[in-house]
């Protein structure tokens, strides 16, 4: 196709190229920073899997894994590049994230109502999509006591196992605790520890990944790569997460992920979700 200066097609192509270049630059810096001092200690419950599949990863083999991605709207804006990265690596991907929900934690009245919706949708997608990996990013709505959080994550692990899938729990990025989240600050803080405890409990199909290795712990820092709302990520941050997360899946399941240069130039950079966040 020939692009002519001044046409909509040309402008769209130029915009996508500029966004892709910015994404690649951000991914390189963020992942390099995440790798500093990273001894794979972020993967809890995964030592046996990592050691048994390391040779396959080193061989450069792709994967035929099927990954179901579950979480809230933070996970939702991470989904476009995550899907692109996984598909480029040979995997199948389904985004099961939810705006204003996505939690599986059955805690207080509001979280229970949200969880009912999540569980209903999740069971249907487990039955239809048949994932090998159920990946759950801790949501901003995982409100409950630590005991309620652990019970809910154990239920999720059992549900995944019954469907023939592993469960990969990943902590959320740091984000702005505004007036809406402030009453639930304790639950937000305790959720990653609860997820880690479930992964450590001996369930062979459960793994926990600590995303603070990528984002840090300060939602206001540049490293956290939050958008102007202080909660979600733009294309660059979402792509950095996709790179980091898929690399860790590769270590767990013995495949070499496609590099960002393969998938970062896709149409996903213009997903309307980023425009709604005011991303460039």
| Domain locations in the chain as residue ranges | 40-276
pLDDT above 60 (res 46) = no
40-276 has which fold? Rossmann fold (3.40.50)
List the single range of 110-124, 143-157, 200-214 with lowest mean pLDDT. 200-214
With a threshold of 0.75, does the pTM exceed it?
A: yes
pLDDT at position 227 over 50:
yes
Query: Hey, what are 172's tokens?
Result: 């959320």
Taking the C-alpha atoms of residue 132 and residue 261, their distance in angstroms, rounded to an integer, is: 26
What is the structure's pLDDT at 102? 97
- Confidence at residue 62, expressed as pLDDT on a 0 to 100 scale: 81
pLDDT at residue 224 in the model: 86
Backbone angles phi, psi at 95, to 5 degrees: -90, 115
Give residue 204's pLDDT.
Answer: 78
Chain segment 189-205, per-residue pLDDT in tens? 999 999 999 999 976 79
Q: Which of 37-51, 94-108, 136-150, 155-169 has the lowest mean pLDDT?
A: 37-51
pLDDT at res. 54? 41
Which residues are CB-neighbours of 207 under 8 A, at least 6 positions away?
Answer: 43, 44, 45, 46, 49, 166, 167, 168, 169, 199, 252
Whether the predicted pLDDT of 17 surpasses 50:
yes
Please tell me the least confidently modeled range out of 133-142, 182-191, 261-270: 261-270
The pLDDT value given to residue 280: 72
Model confidence pLDDT, tens digit, residues 120-145 = 999 999 999 999 999 999 999 999 99
Is it the case that residue 265 has pLDDT exceeding 80? yes
Cα atoms in the Cβ-side hemisphere of radius 13 Å centred on 167:
28
Residues 6+ apart with CB under 8 A from 97: 69, 70, 71, 72, 73, 75, 76, 79
Residue 8, pLDDT > 50, answer no
Q: Which residue has the higher pLDDT, 107 or 11?
A: 107
Least confident of 58-62, 75-79, 88-92, 158-162: 58-62
């Amino acid at each position: 196709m020939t692009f002519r200066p001044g046409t909509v097609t040309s402008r769209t192509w130029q915009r996508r190229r500029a966004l892709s270049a910015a994404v690649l630059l951000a991914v390189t810096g963020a992942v390099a920073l995440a790798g500093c001092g990273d001894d794979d200690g972020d993967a809890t419950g995964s030592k046996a899997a990592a050691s048994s599949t390391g040779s396959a990863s080193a061989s450069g083999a792709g994967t035929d894994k099927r990954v179901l991605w579950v979480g809230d709207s933070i996970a939702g804006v991470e989904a476009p590049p995550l899907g692109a990265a996984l598909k480029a690596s040979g995997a199948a991907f389904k985004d099961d994230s939810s705006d204003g929900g996505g939690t599986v934690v059955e805690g207080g009245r509001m979280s229970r109502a949200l969880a009912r919706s999540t569980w209903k949708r999740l069971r249907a997608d487990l039955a239809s999509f048949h994932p090998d990996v159920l990946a759950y990013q801790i949501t901003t709505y995982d409100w409950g006591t630590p005991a309620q959080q652990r019970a809910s994550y154990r239920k999720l692990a059992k549900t995944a196992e019954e469907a023939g899938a592993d469960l990969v729990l990943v902590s959320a990025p740091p984000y702005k605790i505004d007036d809406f989240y402030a009453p639930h600050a304790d639950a937000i803080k305790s959720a990653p520890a609860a997820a880690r405890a479930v992964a450590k409990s001996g369930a062979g199909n459960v793994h926990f990944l600590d995303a603070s290795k990528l984002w840090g712990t300060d939602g206001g820092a540049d490293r956290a790569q939050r958008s102007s709302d202080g909660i979600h990520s733009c294309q660059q941050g979402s792509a950095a997460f996709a790179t980091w997360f898929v690399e860790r899946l590769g270590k767990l399941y013995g495949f070499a992920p496609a590099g960002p240069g393969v998938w970062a130039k896709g149409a996903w950079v213009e997903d309307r979700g980023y425009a709604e966040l005011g991303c460039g």
